[in-house]
Amino acid sequence: MATIGGITLAATVRAPGAARREVRRRLEGRLAGDRLRDAELIVSELVSNAVLHAPHAGVLEVWIRADAGRLRVELSYAGEGPPGTPPPLPPPHAERGRGLLIVDALADRWGACGNGVTCVWFELDVADRGEAG
């Protein structure tokens, strides 16, 4: 799997927007419009969770990798972060709590692991017409 690029972000409220912009910049022209929007939204949700659930992480690392049929994005940071499975559906009036449900709906595969360092990743299957390859 080839590395397209790495992004280092400060774990602040500005990190989700910065991550979205960098993912778009690095994948524009490599990924079809819908899949590019999916990648932007998923990375934004994962980075938002990291900032919310691991406020002392300090630095977030995002790696973008691809091969002929798959895009993989990994987010890692110090500390324990969000769960690796979607939480139960929040009450209808709740203003938060749907981020991992969005990730689960849009990503073809995703997961998380942690042991002092949290790594959350997702994969998108991409068409064989040169996307992300």
Judge contact between 76 and 65, C-beta under 8 A.
no
Tokens at 51, concatenated? 């900032």
What pLDDT is stored for residue 100 in this prediction? Answer: 84
pLDDT of 81? 59
Domain count, the chain: 1
Specify if 9 maps to a domain.
yes
In a domain, 132, yes or no: no
15 found inside a domain: yes
- The predicted pLDDT at position 129 comes to 47
pTM of the model: 0.85
Distance CA 40, CA 42 (A): 6
In a domain, residue 98? The reply is: yes
Is 24 a member of any domain?
yes
Domain membership of residue 58 as a residue range? 2-125
Write down the pLDDT at residue 133.
Answer: 59
- The pLDDT profile of the chain, 133 residues, written as one tens digit per residue, is 888 999 999 999 999 999 999 999 999 988 888 999 999 999 999 999 888 877 677 899 999 999 889 999 999 998 765 555 556 666 777 677 678 888 999 999 999 887 778 899 999 999 754 555 5
Domain-located, residue 131 = no
From 53, 31, 70, 71, select the one nearest 62 (Cα to Cα).
71
Comparing C-alpha atoms, which of 117, 104, 131 is closest to residue 46? 104
Query: Does residue 37 lie in a domain region?
Result: yes
Q: Is 133 contained in some domain?
A: no
CATH code of 65's domain: 3.30.565.10
